[in-house]
Chains A and B, each alone.
Chain A
Amino acid sequence: MRVAGLLPEYLPLMAELDGRWKVQPFAFDWRLDIDDSAARLAETIRAFAKGGPCHIIAHSMAAWSRAA
């Protein structure tokens, strides 16, 4: 099984944000346990933010991201 990225429906949002922000999309396997996804998200944020502040834009099922 391969996670092949966010659906193109998210591109307008990311493109709009990309004008002013440094954007990192995060795709996850929505069938798997949220603890596993949360651990991977935390790792991604640490590598992306490099200790600095980082905003998260999430909706719907992505509320699990608070677990990260």
Chain B
Amino acid sequence: MLGDFHRGLDWGEWQAPEEQLRAQWRSPRFGPETSGGVAGRGSLAAASRRSGSSYRRFHECALEGRVAPGSRKEQVLERKGAGESQRVPSRSKEEAMADRETASWVALQQALAGGDMEVVRQALRGLDEADRRSWPSGSGPADPAVGARGAAEPRHGRSASGGRVVVIHGIMGARLDVVEPDGDSDRVWVNVGAFSTAGLPTWNWSTGCAPRPAEAGARRRTPPRVSPADG
């Protein structure tokens, strides 16, 4: 995924300003007509651009290092600034249904978090054709849309005769969320724009997690953790 982004960049201009990186991110190379590894991310992003989903908001805000407009995080910050209770009322069912694509993708992510393929299939059945067009491609051995339709069907009538398979993701292949006391959550991810424009020095080691000198014959058990520097 991050590797796909690398392939789309012109590394001859790796020191380009952030605006140029944003332009590359939005270039046709990341669009659905792109072949190869970047197609999946591009087609998902393109579909989200059309629909105005939170996926687009996330990527644009991540590149710009700001809170997504309209997000629960922004509402919490606004209430905090106004001295109000930080708890944001839950959206009504009608409001949630109005953002159907986001809701269906959230349901799918929740199904993935559960790790039960039967629940994933149920979530897939909740996607309509427009949702499935935004499927990431290039990851499967065949047309992912065909696989999606097959997986979305109930298992009865199909047999899992091949045996049992455990699928393990690669580095940064799982979604990690920081869950706040009020129930809000923030995704742990790399701000690619800041990272690519030499933003690493603005990170600090978290208190208590400073790197320790290596001990001979011993492997460090505590991972390094970083957080944005104040100011």
Contact = CB atoms under 8 A, between A and B. Distances in A.
A58 B168 contact: yes
Interface of A: 1-33, 35, 41, 44-45, 48-49, 52-62, 65
Contacts of B58: none
Contacts of A60: 170-171, 173
A12 B177 contact: no
Of the candidates B117, B138, B165, B175, the one having the most CB atoms from chain A within 10 angstroms of its own CB is B165
Nearest to A17: B165
B111 to A, nearest CB: 8
B223 A33 contact: yes
Given A20-B160, A52-B164, 5 more contacts: A1-B188, A18-B121, A26-B168, A56-B165, A56-B168
Interface of B: 1, 40-41, 44, 105, 108-115, 117, 120-121, 124, 135-142, 144, 147-148, 150-152, 158-179, 185, 188, 221-223, 225
- Majority-rule SS of A interface residues: mixed
Contact of A22 (B105, B150, B152, B160): B160
Closest 8 CB pairs of A and B: A60-B170, A5-B112, A12-B144, A5-B113, A12-B140, A15-B151, A61-B171, A15-B147
A23 B221 CA distance: 31
